[in-house]
Amino acid sequence: MKIGLISDTHGLLRPEALAALDGCERIVHAGDIGTPEILDALRRLAPLTAVRGNNDRGDWAEPLPHSLELELGGLCLFVVHQPAHLPADLAGRGVRVAVCGHSHKPLIEEQAGVLLVNPGSAGPRRFRLPLAVGLLHVEGAEVRAELIELP
């Protein structure tokens, strides 16, 4: 199973991001979406799960949760926008992968038995940080994360 990870679009969905996520069986948006049209475009690629970021406001954003646990292909994921809001007990809850955004800094790292993935920002460039999305490759009990830098 291939799961696409995207965050911090801030109202801009680049064609390169869509191309990188094409072929995913599921897409997870880790917040700061910007507009409901971003969600509509991502839903055209694959089933979508999204959380609300600190900049997501308005009637369209109200139904979005601030965080959620999600099981995909036997893999338990936790999704939240801000890394500071990651619970300390994720491994004890059976979570294998935590996905967050907010910093605009792409990151893959193991923390306390949980694979932490920040796909970075796929929207407007911030400072000199790269534009990126992420992928989770799930094969049985194995999970591998990948960052894809956008041109």
**Could you list the residue range(s) of the whole structural domain that residue 37 is in?**
2-149
Q: What is the pTM of this model?
A: 0.96
State pLDDT tens for residues 49-95: 999 999 999 999 999 999 999 998 889 999 999 999 999 999 999 99
CATH number at residue 84: 3.60.21.10
**Owner of token pair 């948006």:** 29
What's the number of domains the chain is made of? 1
Map the chain to HEC letters.
CEEEEECCCCCCCCHHHHHHHCCCCEEEECCCCCCHHHHHHHHCCCCEEECCCCCCCCCCCCCCCCEEEEEECCEEEEEECCHHHCCCCCHHHCCCEEECCCCCCCEEEEECCEEEEECCECCCCCCCCCEEEEEEEEECCEEEEEEEECC
pLDDT of residue 74: 86
State pLDDT tens for residues 3-42: 999 999 999 999 999 999 999 999 999 999 999 999 999 9
The whole-angstrom separation of Cα 145 and Cα 135 is: 6
pLDDT (mean) for 142-146: 96
State pLDDT tens for residues 95-142: 999 999 999 999 999 998 999 999 999 999 988 899 999 999 999 889
pLDDT of residue 141: 83
